[in-house]
Amino acid sequence: MPRRRGQREAFWKEGRASFREHLDGHEVRKKVTAPTRDARKSSVSALELVTRSPEETHAIGARLGSRLRPPEVVLLVGPLGVGKTTLARGIAEGIGVDDPLSITSPSFALVNTYAGKHTVYHVDLYRLGSRHDFATVGVDEFIGAQGVTIVEWGERLPIRLPSVIIVRIRDAGGDRRKLRIEAAGKLLKALKKDAPGGCYLERESQ
């Protein structure tokens, strides 16, 4: 159920008190626990993986998606054409969306919605500001409040959330991509354990 306005405001307010990291000017918190679920903080950590094909990136997304529970938010950060939508398709598959390969960037509407085990909101903020004013898109009606939200160009999100997962993608030459996943240690541990065969772990950090 969507939160009512008062509840949403309390949610943002509580989140603002615990921001930890600046992400290209947008403050986000890497800690994972949503205040509505549990006020305690869990340890921040990051996992760096290298993929060598779009299929491997998709497969990591699917493993991540299968572990996400509402109202999780995943910010995808990386340059044009690096693989954000490829990863988003994998995440959607992991959440049980039918035909995830048909997912394309919602560049006109900014948001596309898919039904899976949880509702998936796929947001693309590339054109934010040129065609759309964020306030008119209605993202704040669901983000961090219901379903699982995947945000391409996540660093452009103009609102602050108390609980996000960040995936930074970099081109490492050819079909190689470096994925840095910042999330709760528990989630990363599980991801590390069943990363697809071709991927390899580059680093993990606190």
Ligand X SMILES: Nc1ncnc2c1ncn2[C@@H]1O[C@H](COP(=O)(O)OP(=O)(O)OP(=O)(O)O)[C@@H](O)[C@H]1O
Task: Tell me which residues touch ligand X (CB under 6 A).
Answer: 51-54, 56-57, 78, 80-86, 105, 152, 175, 177
- The amino acid at 25: G
Q: How far is the CB of 70 from ligand X (least distance, A)?
A: 23
Between 71 and 83, whose beta carbon lies closer to ligand X? Answer: 83
- Of all residues in the shown chain, the one whose CB is closest to Mg ion is 85
**Which one-letter DSSP state was computed for residue 2?**
P
> ∠ CA(96), CA(84), CA(199), 5° rounding?
80
Greatest distance between any 2 Cα atoms in the chain: 49
Closest to ligand X by CB, 29 vs 89, is: 89
Q: Would you call 100 exposed, middle or buried from its count of C-beta atoms within 10 A (0-12, 13-18, 19+)?
A: buried
Residue number with CB closer to ligand X (88 or 183): 88
C-beta of 2 vs 79, nearer to Mg ion: 79
Residues found near Mg ion in the complex (CB under 5 A):
84-85, 105, 152
Residue 175: contacted member of Mg ion, ligand X, none (CB under 5 to 8 Å, by partner type): ligand X
DSSP-H helix ranges across the chain: 5-16, 54-65, 84-94, 134-137, 185-193
